[in-house]
Amino acid sequence: MKKLILSAAIAVVAATSVNAATVYDAKGLKYDIKGDWQIQLRQKAGDGNKADVEFDDLEIKNRITYDLQDGMSAFGQLDFGFKDAAEGEQSGDKLEEAYLGLKYNNVSVSIGKQNFAVDSFGIEEAYESIAKPIKDDAFDKTETSGNDVVRMDVVMDNLTFIVSTEISADGASSSTDGEGFDMLVATEVAGVKMAAAYQDYSDFSDDFTVWGLSASYDLGMATIAADYSVQEDQDNNEYKLINVATTFKVAATTKMAIGLVSVKETAASVDTDTFGWYTNVTYKFPAQKNVRLFAEIGDTDGDNVDLGYLAGIRLKF
């Protein structure tokens, strides 16, 4: 689930311990731990799907930060996910992120297993993708993370710039995911939050060029947002996706979202247009806002696609 409407994306990039519990903070060393646990009862949109229990996600995030003084710090991130283990697809945990870096004032550089710059792109507000061929955005159809990533983040008051590269090298430790370069720029002008992203990526069997634009505006009573992204491969196949979403509060503790998605795929043997929609509601307990209940329904205009639905609980710290 990628619930990132620009400002949230900037906050995630800039923060070292958003909603985190600080385990230790002394002598220039800070250790933060975060959790994001979600379990839902879900029936996917589609033909003949049955309801089941899904885990999205079960994550533990560990972050260590050393104060090196004079505006410099060293940091390390080690994140584990237990989704696949809970669903019986593997035993034990799954390493999701593992990277180290240095930060000087507003600039940080990190290396290791981590997200690409374009992972922060997008305004989609669904808890789950509705149904194939719909993705969160065109970047999710290619790749948004890797094992051999060098990344730089520049976070200023009104501008965020992220650039990353997935390195492919000879040897047993080289990347098996692919190689590429990507970047994201986000800013705000006259109350409109805007972002642009670009990716040049190869998975060793195909080459992809992906780009996207997004914008959102807070009207006070509601936020409206849209994004447009396009993936093209070396054979001139195209995947175009448009997201439109609005979020609004129906009570102090309750938020709703409504989204529309349009996908156009063009290839040698495929030329399809798919339209989808979703709506969800999220309730935050007044005493603990990181304890949430949620429900969602969604559907597409594809042939033999039945309505999808889900309901669940999410705990964060």
Rg (CA), the chain: 20
Spatial neighbors of 148 by CB under 8 A, at least 6 apart, are 113, 166, 167, 168, 169, 174, 175, 177
**Whole-structure pTM value:** 0.90
Q: What percent of the chain has pLDDT over 90?
A: 78
Domain 7-17+28-316 CATH (choose: 3.40.50.2000, 3.30.70.260, 2.60.40.10, 2.40.160.10) = 2.40.160.10
DSSP 8-class letter at 7: H
Residue 176, pLDDT above cutoff 80? no
Sign of the torsion formed by the C-alpha atoms of 138, 141, 144 and 149: negative
Q: Per mean pLDDT, which range of 16-20, 34-38, 228-232 is the poorest?
A: 16-20
Residue 300 dihedral angles phi and psi, to the nearest 5°:
-130, 170
CA angle 111, 116, 119 (to 5 degrees): 145
In this structure, the chain runs to a length of 317
Residue 96, pLDDT above cutoff 50? yes
Is residue 58 a contact partner of residue 86, using CB atoms and an 8 Å limit? yes
Work out the pLDDT band at 169, boundaries 50, 70, 90.
low
Q: What's residue 5's pLDDT? A: 46
Q: Which among 278, 123, 262, 275 is positioned nearest to 197, based on CA atoms? A: 123
Is residue 296 a contact partner of residue 114, using CB atoms and an 8 Å limit? no
Q: What's residue 173's pLDDT? A: 47
